[in-house]
Structures are given as structure tokens and as C-alpha cells.
């Protein structure tokens, strides 16, 4: 009988054990927020509940049979879209409230034994995620490079063709010189003027 009594007392003592919550670590993700709750002992899923109040934009996490330094926990570093934390002790439970700048569509709990942590994943609506992705895409910049390349191509072509025509005209000799030399010099001159005066001013 004494052995049974000792076992019953031990079970009661363990069932009433209070978990100490030490830290709150927040990490912002593209599709939501990751929140780590560090404790001195492993939390049981039956100890944890949560819900999101759409009318006030507060997410409430309640950890039963838990305590913590409320002032210290409220000093956790904030990351968007969490802009405020409130921690309240109610009897043997600890309620942690997170004021959200975005609505929470769903949430999940994950439990770690080593180290003892509760990972809370808050998920945003898919429409908000898509909007964030669209806003972070680089805006289309006027495609100046191809235009510049095209200009450089025809300038180079004028230099090349002008030099070719001029050279061909000179090689033809004095008696056979025709339109090649003046045309070639003209093309070289046009390319030079554009490259060194007109195009440089546009930049």
C-alpha cells in the first residue's frame, strides 16, 4: 500500500509541474512568422493552445502549467509583421499575445526535446504572400543596353565600311578614284561625330 501511495504522490507532483518559459525568438519568413518559445523542460502538446482574433489582429498563445518573467519576455526582439508582445500570467498558465500587422490564416506547433523548445509557425494568406512576391520583384528598367549595343554596332559598321571604301579608292589609283573615297571618309566622319558628340551628350 505504501508503494502505491508513493507512486500516486509522484504522479500528482509530476502532473502539477510548472514549466519555466525563458525566451521568445521571432524570425520573419516570406510566407509567415516563425516563433521559438524556449523553456526549461519539454512542453506537452496538451499544454499548448492558440487562436487568432481577426477583429483585433492579436494572436494568442496559451501555455498551461507554465510561468515566466513577463517583463523580460515582452522585451523580445520584434520583426515585421509582429509589432507588439504582451505576456500575462493567469493562475498556472502563461498567455503570450502577438499583435500582427498581417492576418494569420493558419498556425502549427512543433516540439523539440533537445533543446526543449516550442516552435510556432504562423502562416499568412496565400494572397498576401503573392502580393509580397510581386512587390519584391525588380521593376523593369528601360532596356538601354541593347539600344546602346545596336548603336555601337552601326557605328562600328560605319567605321569598317568607311575604312574599306576609302582604302579601296586609294588602291584604285589617281585615275580610277570615284565615289569610294568621299563616301568612305563621310561614313567615318559620321560615325566619329555621333560617337564623340551626339551619343556622349545623351548619356
Grid coordinates belonging to 138: 525588380
**Domain residue limits, the chain:** 15-136, 144-202
The whole-number pLDDT of residue 52 equals 95
Relative to beta strand 106-113, strand 58-64 is unpaired
The helix-helix angle for 180-193 and 144-171 (nearest 10°) equals 150
Over the stretch 23-59, which tens digit does the pLDDT of each residue have? 999 998 888 899 999 999 999 999 999 999 999 999 9
* Separation CA 150–CA 197 (nearest Å): 17
In this prediction the pTM is 0.57
Assign domain 15-136 one CATH number from 2.60.40.3500, 3.40.50.1100, 1.10.10.10, 3.40.190.10. 2.60.40.3500
* Separation CA 190–CA 133 (nearest Å): 48
If one compares 200 and 58, the residue with the highest pLDDT of the two is 58
Amino acid at each position: 500500500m505504501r508503494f502505491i501511495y508513493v507512486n500516486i504522490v509522484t504522479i500528482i507532483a509530476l502532473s502539477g509541474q510548472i514549466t519555466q518559459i525563458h525566451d521568445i525568438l521571432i524570425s520573419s519568413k516570406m510566407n509567415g512568422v516563425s516563433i521559438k518559445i524556449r523553456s526549461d523542460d519539454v512542453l506537452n502538446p496538451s499544454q499548448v493552445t492558440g487562436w487568432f482574433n481577426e477583429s483585433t489582429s492579436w494572436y494568442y498563445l496559451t501555455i498551461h502549467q507554465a510561468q515566466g518573467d513577463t517583463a523580460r519576455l515582452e522585451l523580445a526582439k520584434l520583426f515585421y509583421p509582429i509589432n507588439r508582445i504582451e505576456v500575462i500570467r493567469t493562475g498556472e498558465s502563461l498567455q503570450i499575445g502577438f499583435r500582427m500587422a498581417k492576418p494569420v490564416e493558419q498556425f502549427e506547433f512543433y516540439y523539440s526535446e533537445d533543446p526543449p523548445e516550442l516552435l510556432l509557425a504562423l502562416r499568412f494568406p496565400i494572397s498576401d504572400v503573392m502580393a509580397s512576391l510581386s512587390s519584391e520583384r525588380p521593376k523593369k528598367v528601360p532596356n538601354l543596353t541593347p539600344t546602346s549595343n545596336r548603336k555601337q554596332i552601326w557605328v562600328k559598321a560605319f567605321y569598317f565600311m568607311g575604312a574599306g571604301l576609302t582604302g579601296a579608292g586609294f588602291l584604285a589609283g589617281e585615275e580610277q578614284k570615284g565615289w569610294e573615297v568621299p563616301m568612305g571618309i563621310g561614313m567615318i566622319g559620321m560615325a566619329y561625330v555621333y560617337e564623340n558628340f551626339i551619343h556622349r551628350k545623351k548619356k
